Amino acid sequence: MGRRLTWLPTLLLLRFAAFADDRCLMNVSQPAPENAYQVNDILWAGQPEKPYPPAAYRSVQGVSYVLCTCETRACIRKCCEPNAAYVNSKCTPLNASDHVAEFKVPKFVNEHGTVDVYETGLFHIVYGRLTCNGKYKLNPSKDKSHNFQVNNAGFLLSESANVGPDQFCLEQFSELNYQILAVVCSPKQLASQTDEKNLFNTIGMMLSLPFLFSTFLVYALIKDLQTLHGKSLMCHVATLLVAYISLIVVQFITDNADKTWCIFLAYTLQFTFLASFFWLNIMCFDLWWTFSGFRPLRGNTQENEANKFIIYSIYAWGCTSLISIITFGMDKLQYLLTDNIRPRFGINSCWFGSDLAMLLYFYGPIGTLLFSNLLMFIHTAIVIVKHKSDAKVLRGSESQKNVDHEKQRFMLYLKLFIVMGVSWLAEILSWTTNSGGSKFVWYVIDIGNSLQGVLIFLIFVCKKRVLNLLNKKLCPQFQLFKTSTKTVPSKTSSNVKNKDAVEMSTESTSNSTNNQLHEF
């Protein structure tokens, strides 16, 4: 029993030393000399005695002390364990046959390689990968702005980052003949943070993927749904699907991913997210155009829809491509008033390198589209109220049914605008003003953004008409809903509705426009 008790102080010391590690810079500590004693806030220890300020030591139960190694001596972190290096972006043990030079802390590294190194023993070497959320590799051979130096205090200095010892690590990379490069914690990383908030977002996007794909598949399988609005919805869903996949890939991208691959993902994210908002803008515009009373294209309904879809496609894909081309061009221009307007994809992360660039090439266009959607919805709502009051004075119930059809389609797109628009508007305002607000509220907004695929599926697929058509397409022998003669109008009744709709419109809306009112 006595022998067991003699181990207790040692176990307690180890336990509290581990706790002290967590409070020391880079989580590194060492036991203080036995003769250590404290006078006020200063710890005196060693032979000869040396003073240690409060930041350099930790007390263990008020009896023993540990010294924070990186406070008493400059530290440098090596990304991998001793006698290991990065091979194919993974820490791999080295063999004698590899003939790799000894790891030494470089003084300066540029596009030609390591210029000079520090003598062995000047720094205390700490081993292990960084624990920060986002990281990126400084590779001067690919980008001169990545030239870096390490000062004798253990700080890394470069054009793109000036960070302390706990914010970077050094390692040899096999693909560069075991040249030593720096891996740095990213100060801003849109798509590779792995904190609790982004974990929920990633899970939400993963849940959205099958629902987005299912929505696209349903509208692709059922010909009756492939109207102008159905095709627009398919384009919107397809771009959102690719955007979510790309964002998930970026979330799990390795710390040392190839820069070209990182830039490709950044452009893919920008293009697909912008395209999804342009198609949302098209659906809002077409709804507003239907109720505005403007004259439609000449010809029959199918020709009108085909021509309009071509025009809409040129607008959506053309504007998105133009923004991406401008983004690419601004990154390649040699002389600019400020580098902040350069996108700088792949420099610090797989996204924009500055807030100004993000505003110009991403949040700015999205905010403009969402604001125009809001104005069109307000005007459309006013027109619907006017049409409803006009329909009350007409004979029969067909005009009222037409108004109901108008309201149904308006409500569908209003729900979609709320799903896509309101949360993104809130995010843009928060990003612009740097406002904090309630943490719970922003969690809800972010999770709502990530679950857009689920909400779109509920809005556009989980409807009686769509489910009925899907039922007839996939399993006609099984009747999902009870049908009645009222639910399948004849061509005659459809023409009557069109006639009533024309009478209802004070601007004499055409037959092709009124036919669109029955698509949903």
Q: What is the pLDDT of residues 409-422, one digit of tens each?
A: 667 667 767 766 66
- pLDDT average, residue stretch 333-347: 77
Nearest by Cα to 509 from 396, 381, 379, 403? 403
Between CA 41 and CA 52 the distance in angstroms is 9
Answer yes or no: are the C-beta atoms of 25 and 71 closer than 8 Å: yes
For position 271, what pLDDT does the model report? 97
For position 327, what pLDDT does the model report? 94
Between CA 24 and CA 290 the distance in angstroms is 66
- Up-side HSE of residue 23: CA atoms within 13 Å toward CB? 14
Between CA 315 and CA 15 the distance in angstroms is 65
Answer yes or no: are the C-beta atoms of 191 and 432 closer than 8 Å: no
- Predicted TM-score (pTM) of this structure: 0.57
Between CA 179 and CA 290 the distance in angstroms is 64
Name the token pair of 81: 């364990």
Bridge partners (DSSP) listed for residue 212: none
Name the token pair of 261: 């691959």
Between CA 128 and CA 79 the distance in angstroms is 5
- pLDDT average, residue stretch 344-353: 79
Residue type present at position 34: E
Q: Average model confidence (pLDDT) for the chain?
A: 76
For position 241, what pLDDT does the model report? 95
Q: What angle do CA 115, 120, 121 make, to 5 degrees?
A: 135
Bridge partners (DSSP) listed for residue 85: 92
Q: Which residue has the higher pLDDT, 364 or 29?
A: 364
375-417 confidence digits (pLDDT tens): 888 888 887 777 666 655 444 445 455 555 556 666 766 776 7
End-to-end CA, the chain: 82
| Residue 281: partners with Cβ closer than 8 Å, 6 or more residues away | 316, 369, 372, 373
Whether the per-residue pLDDT at 201 is higher than 60: the answer is yes
Between CA 254 and CA 258 the distance in angstroms is 9
Q: What angle do CA 241, 246, 249 make, to 5 degrees?
A: 130
Mean pLDDT is lowest, of 6-10, 134-138, 250-254, 319-323, for 6-10
Q: Torsion-angle region of residue 287: left (phi > 0), alpha (psi -120 to 50) or beta?
A: alpha
Q: Which residues of 279-301 are buried (b: 16+ CB within 10 A; e: fewer)?
A: bbbbbbbbbbbbbeeeebeeeeb
Answer yes or no: are the C-beta atoms of 17 and 60 closer than 8 Å: yes
For position 498, what pLDDT does the model report? 41
Q: What angle do CA 23, 25, 26 make, to 5 degrees?
A: 105
Backbone angles phi, psi at 270, to 5 degrees: -60, -50
Q: For a pLDDT cut of 70, what percent of the chain falls above it?
A: 70
Between CA 247 and CA 212 the distance in angstroms is 15
Mean pLDDT is lowest, of 153-167, 170-184, 403-417, for 403-417
436-479 confidence digits (pLDDT tens): 445 566 667 777 778 888 988 988 898 888 888 888 888 777 76
Q: What is the DSSP string of 295-346?
A: ---SS-HHHHHHHHHHHHHHHHHHHHHHHHHHHHHHHH-S--S-GGGS--TT
Q: Where are the beta strands (DSSP E) in 18-147?
A: 29-31, 37-39, 42-45, 50-52, 57-60, 64-68, 75-78, 84-87, 90-93, 106-110, 113-117, 124-127, 135-138
Separation in Å, CA 232 to CA 278, 416, 458, 481: 10, 13, 17, 27
Whether the per-residue pLDDT at 509 is higher than 50: the answer is no
15 by DSSP, 3-state: which?
helix
Most confident of 125-134, 202-211, 402-411: 202-211
Q: Which residues of 48-61 are buried (b: 16+ CB within 10 A; e: fewer)?
A: eeeebeeebbbebe
Name the token pair of 282: 């098209």
Q: Which residue has the higher pLDDT, 124 or 420?
A: 124
Q: Which residues of 26-47 are buried (b: 16+ CB within 10 A; e: fewer)?
A: bbbbeebeeebeeeeeebebee
Report, in angstroms and rounded to the nearest whole number, the Rg of the chain calculated over CA atoms: 32
- pLDDT average, residue stretch 185-201: 57
Between CA 513 and CA 398 the distance in angstroms is 16
Nearest by Cα to 205 from 443, 448, 426, 418? 448
For position 368, what pLDDT does the model report? 92
Between CA 128 and CA 132 the distance in angstroms is 12
Whether the per-residue pLDDT at 121 is higher than 90: the answer is no
Backbone angles phi, psi at 66, to 5 degrees: -125, 145
Total length of the chain: 520
DSSP 25: G
- Up-side HSE of residue 21: CA atoms within 13 Å toward CB? 12
Between CA 404 and CA 414 the distance in angstroms is 15
